[in-house]
Structure 1
Amino acid sequence: MGSVRSNSIRPNMVWRIAARDLLSTLRDRRTLAATILMPLILIPALSLGLPLLLGSFIGGQQQERQKVGVVGTLPPALRTALEQDEKVDGKTVRAGVDLVAVQDPKKAVQSGDVDAAIQAPVALPTRAGEGSAALEVYAKLSSLSAQAGAYGKVQDVVDGYNRTLTLDRLKGLGLGADTLTPVTVKPIDASPPQEQRSGQLAFLIPFLMLQFILSGGMATAIDATAGEKERGTLESLLVSPVRRAEVVTGKLLATTITALTSACFSVLGFIISGLVAALFLANRSGLGADITSSMGGQLTLTLGGTLGMLGLAASAALLISAVLIAIGIYARSFKEAQTYIAPLTLIIVLPAVMLQFADFLTLSTAVYAVPLFGSMISILNIVKGAAQLDQILLAILANVIGAALLALLALHSFGREEVIFRN
């Protein structure tokens, strides 16, 4: 019994080692900024700023007048429709275009004199039944500005012009507008309310959360292992009356706390983004607000969802911290450790890219047993309100088992002199 007690881990010693490494981290202002400020700045910028920027850009293009070159003569009704503003409740939702005569439509677009140009090789019909003709539209089709502005407006107006001619012909035959569409499609979103609010960029939440866990724990882990080897303080720690298991556990605890701090601030960043998005959508309407709503989304969590996300974040932080400690102790120097750890970003980025195509993937329960990736999917499910308790627990268990195995590897490395003294 005495030998068992002597080999057991002493919690107070573990905490002293952890506090020692945390104090070293707190002294580095750059690390604090990366752990606290970066999630609060980057997450709202990516999850809210990008949709706001895109929505404002497209909405602005719709409400601004562009120049459209014209070669030849257009039917008066079509010309009027192109130049006329579309208003709703007295507010312009789609501005018309300014038609200007040009000689060469292609050169006029390429030179930037006009945003788009139209040319009718033959006279356009003014009544349905007079045949058909092609209206050539010149624009830089790879340009988002043209798609949202001049080219998109011309296309919409021509579609409306065709429908007007057809309806006039049907009216003369005694038929109504419903003759063209005897069956209409009424889309009804069957997604849970929380999934509707999460938006199209919901896959960024697990990606950014794990990315900040990695960046948050990286500085502490490298400094507590390879950094101490470089400074020569690790040897003095190991010859002191401290057990190797306590050293590994203390450094793992310090790294996990730092990583979790970054994760908590990343969740706070998403909550701030959701609140700001809600205020923006409440005060604005129109195309820009619709795009922001569909892309940006809002993070709203239930108590169970919050606990599940915290559990997943904690287990992921523990696993990532164990990876960092195992790699850091093997490296000869701080820079070498950074070189070894750099590919870990790809391990997070590549699965996160797959999450945006999650609807096309057939996911079995076994996927949640894959460390980190199972956590990403579970976090995405929580955000969308489709999480299941057994899947969350399986993902957490997979992370804990992986962390335990890596901690044993780190403990083995701490016990090998050729690793400790390889610098």
Structure 2
Amino acid sequence: MPADARRGLRRALVWEITVRDLLSTLRDRRTLNATILMPLILIPLFTLGLPLMMGSLIGGQQQTRQQLGISGELPGGLRAALERDETLPDGTVVRAGVDLVPVTDPLQAVQSGSVDAAVQASSPLPERAGDGTGTLNIYAKLGNLRAQTGAYSKVQDVLEAYNRQLTVQRLTSLGLSESTLTPVTLRPVDASSTQEQRSGQLAFLIPMLMMQFILAGAMATALDATAGEKERGTLESLLVSPVRRAEVVAGKLLATTLTALTSAAFSVAGFLLSGLAMRALQDRQPEASAAFTQGIGGQLSLSPSALLSLLGTAASTAVLISALLITVGIYARSFKEAQTYVAPITMLIVIPAVMLQFADFLHSGPGLYAVPLIGGMVSILDTVRGALNPGHAALAFAVNLLAALTLCALALRSFSREEVIFRN
């Protein structure tokens, strides 16, 4: 370890370097937008707007009449069921029927787009249970979400109800009740905590987006304070001044971490804003939040201790990412070269964050939380879902800080080597 690293840091000089690098970052309005505005806009858009949009699109397909091609003869009851609208007592259409269109070639009709889906009865279909069986072929573009949630879905639901109706009629004629079909009833009971139910299936987006914004905020300052200064020739003037190399590293690390934490704080604010907006929407328009009640959307509603844990884990992650970027940035010859190095690092951070959607399949033992960065991501996800384990969160926090200290030592070593500082 260099001699100046073993001496105490002069806080005034460290803070002066920090302010210097922060001011350089603040001069770029694009950085401010990426650090402050983008989390407040994109996070509500992903966690609130996207599920509501999907729910609206799917619900819109159910409430819109589609063209259904018909080839062959259908029983009168089935035709009527397909064309009939399902409504609430107040007249609101829950599921619209379909318009039946005769077609000669159902496959060609669907492929050409003249109908949304088509059914073909190759033989007469039974009108009563016990009168034999029949097959109804349905043609649709099964890889098309619009087709699946529209006419195709309606035909499936109507045919299932039609089959049950015929079966119930047959049972009644035999003196049996409808309950004969279901002697044992399965009643699901959600054992998830309240916060797990609120966070929904998109809970993994919260740590993923937090990592993205922490990385974006740290990158703006770290690369400019290292490779950018080398390229402009201002780093040499800083290093020949009466300031220790350890103080330079500490100042740049502090500036980068503050920028990253600012972005993280606004990302948390974005999630809290989404939760408030969702609760207000549920109070005023319960039907508009149907997608969320089905577990699709996510809300962030945290207790003070959970919020403190979330911010602490985010802070340790910000320090780790900042130290990594400074270590890489000082090694690069130019700003462009530093960006080239950072590109694969971005993927190494983003890919594990995306894989958090499969976190339910992971064994959340202490070993997982002992992995730098990944342990912090899993800890954030646990906090969001209301399953926070203080021991796991403390382990992830400590491991992140330990990894950051190791990277800081590498960065200090690079700052102390002239062949690295002047390699541009």
TM exceeding 0.5:
yes
Q: Tell me the residue number matched to 2:94.
A: 93
SS in 2 for 1:342: helix
Give distance in 2, aligned partners of 1:132 and 1:185: 28
SS in 2 for 1:98: strand
- Give the C-alpha shift of residue 233 in structure 1: 0.9
Letter in 1 for 2:10: R
CA contact (8 A) 2:211 2:353 kept: no
Give distance in 2, aligned partners of 1:156 and 1:208: 37
- Give the C-alpha shift of residue 89 in structure 1: 2.6
Give distance in 2, aligned partners of 1:118 and 1:241: 83
Give the total of aligned pairs.
Answer: 420
Q: Tell me the residue number matched to 1:219.
A: 220
Letter in 2 for 1:69: G
CA contact (8 A) 1:61 1:148 kept: yes
Letter in 2 for 1:206: P
CA contact (8 A) 2:313 2:380 kept: yes
Letter in 2 for 1:158: L
Q: Tell me the residue number matched to 1:247.
A: 248
Q: Tell me the residue number matched to 2:165.
A: 164
1:13-412 matches, cutoff 5 A: 13-90=13-90, 91-286=92-287, 289-293=289-293, 294-412=295-413
SS in 2 for 1:117: strand
User: Structure 2 unaligned runs (5+)?
Assistant: none
User: Structure 1 unaligned runs (5+)?
Assistant: none
Give distance in 1, aligned partners of 2:63 and 2:279: 23
- Give the C-alpha shift of residue 5 in structure 1: 12
SS in 1 for 2:57: helix
Letter in 1 for 2:184: V
CA contact (8 A) 1:201 1:296 kept: yes
Letter in 1 for 2:320: L
SS in 1 for 2:68: strand
CA contact (8 A) 2:4 2:245 kept: no
CA contact (8 A) 1:277 1:296 kept: no
- Give the C-alpha shift of residue 261 in structure 1: 0.3
* Cα RMSD (Å): 1.5
Residues 327-363 of structure 1, C-alpha deviation per residue, up to 9 Å, x if partnerless?
Answer: 1111110001111111111111221232111111222
- Give the C-alpha shift of residue 112 in structure 1: 1.1
CA contact (8 A) 2:47 2:205 kept: yes
Give distance in 2, aligned partners of 1:326 and 1:4: 18
- State which drifts further: 137-146 or 189-198: 137-146
Residues 101-141 of structure 1, C-alpha deviation per residue, up to 9 Å, x if partnerless?
Answer: 11111111111111111111111101110010001111111
CA contact (8 A) 1:69 1:101 kept: yes
Query: Which aligned runs of 4 or more in structure 1 are off by greater than 4 angstroms?
Result: 3-6
- Give the C-alpha shift of residue 6 in structure 1: 9.8
Give distance in 1, aligned partners of 2:75 and 2:6: 96
Give distance in 2, aligned partners of 1:368 and 1:103: 62
- Give the C-alpha shift of residue 278 in structure 1: 2.1
CA contact (8 A) 2:224 2:335 kept: yes
Give distance in 1, aligned partners of 2:6 and 2:378: 42
- Give the C-alpha shift of residue 291 in structure 1: 2.1
Letter in 1 for 2:8: S
Give distance in 1, aligned partners of 2:175 and 2:50: 50
SS in 2 for 1:209: helix
Q: Tell me the residue number matched to 1:9.
A: 9
- State which drifts further: 359-368 or 55-64: 359-368
Give distance in 2, aligned partners of 1:418 and 1:18: 25
SS in 1 for 2:347: helix
Give distance in 1, aligned partners of 2:407 and 2:5: 24
Distance 1:346 1:5, change over 3 A: closer
Letter in 1 for 2:302: L
Letter in 2 for 1:213: I
State percent identity of aligned pairs.
64
- Give the C-alpha shift of residue 290 in structure 1: 2.6
Letter in 2 for 1:305: A
- State which drifts further: 291-300 or 13-22: 291-300
